[in-house]
Amino acid sequence: MSSTNAKTLIFWSAMLVSLTILLCLASTLSAYYSSPEGLERVSGSSHYTPSIYLGVENESTDTGPNSTPCATTTEINAEIPPLIDPNLLNKTDDASAAVPTVNLFVPIATTRPSSLFARILHPLHPLGISDSVISNSTIPTNNFYTNMFVGDRDQPANLYPYMVWWNQGVGGDYGLAISHTTKSQRAYGPNPEANPVEYYLNPIGIRSISFSAVEFDASMTMSLTSPSAFSINVIMSPSTSKYGSSRSLLIPLVQGTGFISGNYYNLQPQFNSIVGFKSLTARSSPRSGVRKYVADLYDGTSWGIYATVPSGQTFSLSLSSSSTIKASARVNNVLVQIAEIVNEGALDNHAGMYATSATVFGIATGSQGTYTIDYLSSGSNNAGSLLLFALPHHVTSFYSSMSSRALGFTMDSQTKGTMSAYSTSQLVMVETIPTEIKFAPWTSVPGKSANYTSRAIGLISKAAILEVMQDFDAQTNLDSVYFSGKALDKFAMICYVAHFILKDSTITATCLTKLKASFSRFARNSQIYPLKYDNTYKGIVSGIALSTGNSLDDFGNTYYNDHHFQYGYHIHAAAVIGYIDSDLGGTWVANNKEYVNTLVRDVANPSVIDIYFPFSRSFSWFHGHSWAKGLFESGDGKDEESSSEDYNHAYAIKLWGQVVGDASMEARGAMMLAIMKRAMNSYMLMNNTNTIQPPNFIRNKVSGILFENKVDHTTYFGTQIQFIQGIHMIPITPVSSYIRSPGFVQQEWTSLLSSVAPTLTDGWKGILYANLALYDPSSSYKFFTSSSFQNAYLDGGASLTWYLAYAAGVGGTTS
């Protein structure tokens, strides 16, 4: 065996060892879902197959949403071995190993949040979600399906590659509409001939085909159950006054799924299209019990309709009009799967099995880590696995065995390039995680290293002496979680420089004493608008909107906007304070651990075992970055503006994990950074060689605002170029150079910023020149040491002390 193969075997053996813990924890998932979930082995197979109740209330033993299809097991094709072999899971960890293997998803805590946070019910009740589900589940607030329980509930949920929404009578149709758009349908503007264009978007409302039923009309209802990070169950029901309560259509919405699948219970299926059906053809069955139809639409697309029909029932479809396909009779417990036909053979091979939900698990061993999105499934098919679509950043990090699962065809996504088809129930990704980046200035510029000359130390010391004399309370005791956090973090970095770079005990003592006092106001929750614990969505929110009645106050914090941005600053400040205090022999970390951990749990709870917060509220383990939009209706779906404040929150989690000795948290933060680096440089930070975003958009260098359905090179607060580019820079920290490569920064500076930066007179000027240190630290250092430098060039979250220390710390000075 080669050395490389031996290392690979050791690595994956370690991964499988750690999964023992995860599978044991799975037995307690019933505390999270509204119905129990377990893991069942398939007889004669080496692969474990999850069997899940979908969490529908008032379940029946014979008919209804929780009958047989949800409890059937998966047939495993022996020709496609499972990626995870459970026979290896009975090993135990070797505690003496030189490099321990760390489970990335260990709960931070499972206790009820402190009574420090007053309990509230959120003013926005999730529509279509019962009180029982609210009580027994955690509801993600920044997930792909928020549109389905806020506002008018008729805006899209972007599953990728498909888009679905509740059609409430448009075109006379009632049901779940399905759309898939291609890059040829995108609109570019405002001048489509420009290069770069300012934005591109995909059309919405093109109802290619929809799940419906003859019984559906304006009195139908849509309820939601089993909310999770990757999926939710949609239950559509006709009027109970007309038809009683035993009729429903159950559709699990799962990210990346190759089919949209629905289970009909005591309904007469109907399928509608606003595009129009040109023809409907019955085709040969791909499998016993599966009926196949192909619907050709007037736009040139074709859609496959596959029905898995229990023995003893008849099922046939026919065109009743150019816009309607109707089943011949009412059916029960019939699974219907719909997909656009790109590769008909692949659809045939995978029809009959569908994804019901997904989970994620992962480990890290030193700087090597892996994470797996594991899809739970129901039914059976010829392939023995699911048809899934992977995003570009998944594919480039796939474990080598994934190549055998590739099907060789793609579908366009909305804003993340083309997705690749795989026959698998697991997406397994491998990353090298940044274990070496900690608190000290760090750079990826080749040949550069810290050089704190005596002159540099003198200049940094002069700046620190002046800046520690500022009024910390005046800058931190604000009515904004965001701006308070930025100020706390600014002063934390001054304290760091004073202690670890200047090694000046006097400046350190002054800075740390003042900063601890300012931070303690938040740790006591006695700021202007104290934080509350929301029993509805199970999270920590500012009380500002409860007082003002404006959901957008403090950037929408009360409605779960931007939590990772805002709390990320607080967590990072706490990590720095704790790092310094621990070095001085203090106990600050122990005294503040519960408070800071609560903030981490709100934005990045790593486990469904912790029932007091949703799993990974902000960061999407599917998309590879966070979504900032919370409980707000949006036709273009979730969005994120500031990539840099996103990775700053992951960096903060990594450092806080280091300070408190939580190896899982530290490694998880590092894994998030590794994934963000890959995803952000695919979708949000565009090098000249980027092939994922449209060629006529990449010259913008940054996405501006990345939505699920459009990309707009702008900001929510202005259209000046320094705003658009700069919001993807702040704050400049040691991890900035890890995400923003020297080559990318140089391209952005040369093409967009070098002519603008010298003309600025406000804090954006300092931001741009601090970012310059990521590829040209010498020019950055010269700017901040220039006799013409003014404090007006410093943003409210920035200090001259840190900018000087960073530029010098990454090789900006030689004398």
What is the set of active-site residues? 562, 641, 645
**Integer Cα distance of 237 and 227 in angstroms:** 18
Give residues with Cβ within 8 angstroms of 209, minimum separation 6: 177, 178, 271, 272, 273, 295, 297, 303, 305, 338
Alpha carbon distance 6, 718 (integer Å): 54
What tokens appear for 581 in the block?
Answer: 């205090």
CA–CA distance, 806 with 737 (Å, rounded to integer) = 11
β-strand partners of 374: 359, 426
**DSSP character string of 165-181:** EEEESGGG-EEEEEE--
Which tokens hold the place of 209? Answer: 């085909």
Q: Is the dihedral of CA 700, 701, 703, 709 positive or negative?
A: positive
Cis peptide before 196 (omega within 30 of 0): yes
Whose CA is closest to 165, among 127, 128, 210? 210
HEC per residue, 12-55:
HHHHHHHHHHHHHHHCCHHHCCCCCEEEEECCCCCCEEEEECCC
What are the backbone angles phi and psi of residue 410, rounded to the nearest 5°?
A: -135, 165
Q: Count of CB atoms within 10 A of residue 454's CB?
A: 8
SS3 572: helix
| DSSP string computed for 582-596 | HHTT--HHHHHHHHH
Q: Hey, which residues does 456 pair with through a beta bridge?
A: none
- Rounded Cα distance between 723 and 728, Å, is 9
Query: 390, 398 in Cβ contact below 8 A?
Result: yes
Task: Give the start-end residues of each E strand in 708-774.
Answer: 710-712
CA-angle at 682, arms to 560 and 366, nearest 5° = 80
- Taking alpha carbons only, the member of 600, 594, 591 closest to residue 572 is 600
Integer CA distances (angstroms), 394 to 418, 623, 642, 806, in order? 12, 9, 22, 33
88: CB partners within 8 A, 6+ apart: 13, 16, 17
Contact indicator for 110, 138 with CB cutoff of 8 Å:
no
- Show Cβ contacts of residue 652 under 8 Å, excluding neighbours closer than 6 positions: 568, 569, 571, 572, 575, 669
Give the CA-trace dihedral at 472, 477, 483, 484, to 10 degrees. Answer: 70
- Are 399 and 363 spatial neighbours (Cβ–Cβ below 8 Å)? no
